[in-house]
Structure 1
Amino acid sequence: MNRLALSAVLLTALAPALAQSSGTTSAPPTVTSRSASKTVQVAFVAGHAGHNGGLNYNGDAKGEKTLTVPLGWTVEVSLSNAGKMPHDFAVVAGTAVPTDFSKVRLAFPNAATSVIAPGGAAAATRFVANRPGTYLILCRVGRHAQNGMYVKMTVSNSVKAPTYR
């Protein structure tokens, strides 16, 4: 077998492992819901697999995914940090990433975590999604959000169950 053919065989065999280790895969958050109590639990991992330079939630960045929540439901968020930088979680109104967080208010009371340290630290928060609209879930540390560490959130009275896709 010549070198070119051998290289092609090796690359084909190793491609799945290389793609996984490159951090380009997304790991959807664990989203569970209890319709009787109108509660959704969402588990986010900041800095998952190094995607977008570690600026991601569960491998998702730059608004790639949307968490959709029925109006009036309680949202319980757990955030763990698998990355090498500190991160947080905050929900802000609108679809534009803010440039100055000192002028930005949370979309809902308590819709943020504290900043957590890298390497497995964790935080949690709980809030009621009591206003319909489109929001951003983002990291307020440094320029993380401006560099793509955000996903979208929609609160709607026309949905019956939460989704993340």
Structure 2
Amino acid sequence: MNTTALIAIVVVVVVIVAAVGAYLALFHKSSSTMMMTTTSTMLPTTTTSTTSSTTTTTTTTSSVKLPPGASELPYNPNNKTVFIYLVVSVTGPQFNYNGTSYGQMKIYVPAGWNVMVILTNDQPIPHNANIVLNDTLTPNSPNITQDGKILLYVGDNPSDYYSNGVPSQGTASAMLTNIQPGYYWIACGVYSHAESGMWVDLIVSNSVSVPYSIISSSASTTTSTSTSSPPSWG
């Protein structure tokens, strides 16, 4: 081997050794400085709990005690008006209000109230309904003005109450205001109808607090001259 070849080999070896040394030095530095850092972040969790409360308001209305068999009538307590619905029925007696006759129906109203009468006629012949301040025990004349004074006309008027009335399937209404204590009839003014049983007793008293009606099985015995007060129901 000549000198030139030997020198070349030595140079190659030196270069290789230098390269390997540089690589090892770099690897050692990287290994010593490399760090693995793990960061754990805990996020707070907030839970909001909402409780809904339900409030129930109960309104209690005290009922007025009524006598046995009585039915409270519809009324407006604000303007003190009672509504009396009467139907001339095709069933029951021929001359009837709500199937009753001869004062079987008795209506009680507080004194000073307004009385509205609503009359419906289901029969083929005309009928009316009048509030009468009576002066006899029962209607005993074909003309009701012979037995008292008409205060309210329903389905008729002062000139023809004895012949005119609500036609078949018709309805009429009228109101008497501020009725005073006493005994009255609601009676048909058509000639002889009241005398034939077509009337209701209407009792107005300071001892009555709510309007109501009672239907009895017997005819009326109420008298306009009675000094006794109606039962203090209501």
TM-score normalised by L of structure 2: 0.52
Name which structure has the greater RCO, CA cutoff 8 Å, separation 6+. 1
Aligned counterpart in structure 2 of residue 117 of structure 1, from 145, 151, 167: 167
CA shift in 2, pair 1:127/1:85, >3 Å? same
TM-align CA RMSD = 2.0
**Which position in structure 1 is the counterpart of 2:149?**
105
1:5 corresponds to: none
Structure 2 stretches of 5 or more lacking a match? Answer: 1-69, 157-164, 215-234
Which has a greater percent of strand?
1
Matched, 1:130 2:179: yes
Q: Alignment partner for residue 52 of structure 1, among 83, 93, 98?
A: 93
**Alpha-carbon offset, residue 152 of structure 1:** 0.4
Are the equivalent residues in 1 in contact too, given 2:72–2:210 (CA < 8 A)?
Answer: no
Is the Cα–Cα contact under 8 Å of residues 29 and 43 in structure 1 kept in the other structure? Answer: no
What is the aligned length?
A: 132
Gaps of 5+ in 1: 1-27
Q: Residue 63 of structure 1 corresponds to which residue in structure 2?
A: 103
- Give 1:164's aligned residue: 213
Matches within 5 A, 1:21-32: 31-32=73-74
SS of residue in 1 equivalent to 2:74 = strand
**1:71 Cα deviation after fit:** 0.4
Give a deviation string over 1:75-125, Cα, whole Å, max 9, x none.
11111101121100011123321513354421x3xx22121112x111110
92-101 or 74-83, which deviates more: 92-101
Partner of 1:79: 119
- The 3-state SS of whatever aligns with 2:139 is coil
**Kept in 1: contact 2:144–2:194 (CA 8 A):** no
Q: Tell me the percent identity.
A: 29
Higher CA-based Rg: 2
